[in-house]
Amino acid sequence: MQKITSKENELIKHIKKLKDKKYRDLSNEYVIEGIKLVAEAIEEQAPIKYIIVCDDCEKNEGIPKELMYELAKNECIYVTENIFKYLTEVQTPQGILAVIEKSTKTEDIDYSQDIIVALDEVQDPGNLGTILRTVDSIGLKQILVSKGTADSYNPKVVRATMGAIFRVKIIECEDLQKTLREIKKHKFKIVVSSLQTENSIYDIDYHKKVIIIGNEANGVEAKIQEMADEKVKIPMLGKTESLNASVATGIILYEYVRQKLL
């Protein structure tokens, strides 16, 4: 059994640097942490490079035995409590993390599903992670993200996805407008949220649609608004004029689910 006790160990230094986006992009890896996420990564056969376990946590039986059996099938490395605290990103760590290889970047879009979700510069990691989780919950297998959107492999995003990051293909668009023009060639229509319309999210048919979710402060970019085939808004009975981006996404996507069930 390999056990690391020094912060100067090359692997430890490598994992620590993965908190930086530039290094994640360079190494094509990211970190997940916690019993549930590691278990999901194993179940979904994610490309796990290393699993790091706090040796003291194992002695305290913090990790379920059934998971320990699965860990033995992977590259499992033990570290001291001090080393794990040095690596962890959370306040109350569960004593286990893993380094995952990113999925190969691809621009290939699956046009077989009814709707495609695209994010236009969504900035908050918590929003992005929750949106990924919502997309997964309705059975979608992909999401488009603009260049200005938060990093999908940010530790906060990864935690908020609750495992959805292993099931949803993240397609990073260098030029979202160009990508949308290509999608329209496949007979998809673009739907954006806007306060400058009387049309409700309940007034449209969710078939062959691209749902654009805009920036938390500024909404959908003006040039993409101009490309829209349909503009809709969420009806609100109170005085609040806008909703959190992830909440709005959930409301819109579950109108699609309602129509699908009918």
Strands 76-79 and 48-54: parallel
Instruction: From 127, 186, 199, 194, select the one nearest 156 (Cα to Cα).
Output: 127
So what's the pLDDT on residue 61? 58
pTM of the predicted model, to two decimals? 0.90
Domains recognised in the chain with CATH numbers: 3-101 (3.30.1330.30), 115-261 (3.40.1280.10)
Residue 149 and residue 128 in contact, taking contact as beta carbons nearer than 8 Å: yes
d(CA 188, CA 208): 5
Q: Sheet with 189-193: list strands edge to edge.
A: 169-173, 142-146, 115-119, 209-213, 189-193, 230-232
Give the pLDDT of the chain (262 residues) as one tens digit per residue. Answer: 678 889 999 999 999 999 999 999 999 999 999 999 999 999 999 999 999 999 876 555 577 888 888 888 888 899 999 999 999 988 888 899 999 999 765 568 999 999 999 999 999 999 999 999 999 999 999 999 999 999 999 999 999 999 999 999 999 999 999 999 999 999 999 999 887 788 899 999 999 999 999 998 888 999 999 999 999 999 988 988 778 899 999 999 999 999 999 8
- Residues paired with residue 50 on neighbouring β-strands, in sequence order: 99
The Cβ-side half-sphere exposure at 85, using a 13 Å CA radius, reads 5
